Amino acid sequence: MPTATIVRTGVANTASVVAALARLGCACTLSDHPAEVADAELLVLPGVGSFGAGMGSLAAAGLVDALRDRIERGRATLAICLGLQLLCAASEESPGVEGLSVLDTRVERFGAGVTVPQFGWNRVESEGGLVEPGFAYYANSYRLNEAPAGWRTAWSDHGGRFVAAIERDAVLACQFHPELSGQWGRAMLRRWLARCGVREGRAAC
């Protein structure tokens, strides 16, 4: 049975992630140990709350280098919601706080004229890859506006187009919550596991 290591950030409710992966045949462990994060078979970087608190937790645990290294090497990693934003260099939410800087871009707040935070279902548009067109569940006030170079990008719209998800090699980072996105989200997680080398038939429906 494959094992997914979920980063213990202190700013994430991991129960729904654990349940979603368990339905697909993955055992889950929680860790904030740099060596375990670096060497994990499958890694999940979840998150809710603020950019500053999330980065503070990662830095305090000594996880910054381990996370940056495995993502830059394309090792099996799933980042969810705030987890995607933490890959960026900075966020408008927390001025002066440096992110993981895997992506040379800045996270910005949704503009005027739309409901903030965005709660609920929104359409995802893509041109193939791990993220197929469909509807995903969101809970966010901040977003990426530009596609990072070298990454396949899916999009949603909330007062203007924003990044729904990015993927490269075995790294998938989603602004939405796949674990809360029903059958569509489950199918996407199954494709990610297959990309990471989890054999067909080891996951249950």
Task: Decide: 2 and 202 in contact? Cβ < 8 Å.
Answer: yes
Pick the catalytic residue: 88, 158, 167, 177?
177
Instruction: Establish whether 158 is a catalytic residue.
Output: no
Residues contacting residue 96 through CB under 8 Å, at least 6 positions apart:
none
177 an active-site residue? yes
Q: Quote the CA–CA distance of 44 and 19 in Å, as a whole number.
A: 13
Q: Select which of 26, 167, 174, 179 is catalytic.
A: 179
Q: Pick the catalytic residue from 81, 88, 174, 196.
A: 81
- Positions annotated as catalytic residues are 81, 177, 179
